[in-house]
Amino acid sequence: MIIDAHHHFWDPERTEYGWMTGPAAPLKRRYAPEHLLPEMARAGVGGSVLVQTRSSLEETREFLALAGACKSILGVVGWVDLTSPDVGRQIADLMSGPHGHLLVGIRHQVHDEADADWLLRDDVQRGLAAVQAAGLSYDLLVRSRELPAAIAVVERFPGLRFVIDHLAKPEIGEGVLEPWASLIGQLSKQRAHVWCKLSGMVTEADFATWRTADFQPYVRTVVEAFGADRCMYGSDWPVCTLAASYGTTLEIVGELIAGLSREEKEHVWSGSASAAYRLDVPGKDRGNPPASVS
């Protein structure tokens, strides 16, 4: 079975997405399950994790409803206000509400915060403690600028499962490894409760001229640092469509992990996502890796 550990839905006609301008302007249209499910079927993907796009409790409730109606969505990484004194109640309300059992994690767009140490704020730390108490995971959406704070937070919360989104967004387009690689090495010292998504790579490279070889040093760094049992595939659909099709994102990862053992590949394709998000995965006959990624 293949699990896509990272994708989104949105409808700009209902809500404003200020970042959908310039190179991202083609994304300013509705993306919904009926658009994704055929792509998943063609690629042999049997399940997915739907990830928040806005700082919105309403969106999280909507995503839970979508997951409840779409069996291929195995879990939702939603949003709560980590800085709010009632963050615990927000989480409890979501989990006790319709399809609340499908809430598997929380995320915030940390890399958009002006303060590189936002994760270290006292109110944010209180919020992360509430996420941990609820048994949920926390997605780290950070770049190199925020990685030092992320390293400190991961050390402070050994009981909280963390998932790094998009390899922490290295500068692939520029071919730059440092200081990202060294920071990843520091972060991986806490690998027992940290996972990393092999996702979002094509849009960190040149949209038109990228080659699979461009991603190899970054994937190698992450897999060597965390181990395949702490790495997972994610498409980052529909953002990925700026530079590559849904199926191509899967093929890229397949090529880059071709040298791993069968067991290691199974971790990347499904095992790591299942473990990090504690997914309730049905029978494993719902998707088979195509020959190019087996």
DSSP helix/strand/coil, 263: helix
- In this prediction the pTM is 0.94
* pLDDT beyond 50 at 271: yes
Domain count of the chain?
A: 1
1-39 per-position pLDDT tens digit: 999 999 999 999 999 999 999 999 999 999 999 999 999
b/e string for 190-205 if b means 16 or more Cβ within 10 A?
beeebbbbbbbbbbbb
Mean pLDDT of 270-282: 94
d(CA 199, CA 270): 14
110-153 per-position pLDDT tens digit: 999 999 999 999 999 999 999 999 999 999 999 999 999 999 99
Query: Containing domain of residue 124, as a range?
Result: 3-293
Mean pLDDT of 79-105: 98
Mean pLDDT of 56-65: 98
Q: pLDDT-derived band of residue 294, with 50, 70 and 90 as boundaries?
A: very low
- Please report where in the chains the tokens 């965390």 appear, as a residue: 226
Strand pairing report for 47-51 and 73-78 = parallel
Cβ distance 142 to 110 under 8 Å? yes
Kindly report the average pLDDT of the chain as a whole number: 95
DSSP helix/strand/coil, 232: strand
Sign of the CA dihedral with 269 first, then 100, 92, and 60 last: positive
- Please report where in the chains the tokens 């181990």 appear, as a residue: 227
Instruction: Give the pLDDT confidence score for residue 281 in this predicted structure.
Output: 84
With a CB cutoff of 8 Å and minimum separation 6, the contacts of 148 are 116, 117, 183
Give the CATH number of the domain where residue 277 resides. 3.20.20.140
Instruction: Give the pLDDT confidence score for residue 282 in this predicted structure.
Output: 73
Q: pLDDT-derived band of residue 283, with 50, 70 and 90 as boundaries?
A: low
- Please report where in the chains the tokens 């970054």 appear, as a residue: 218
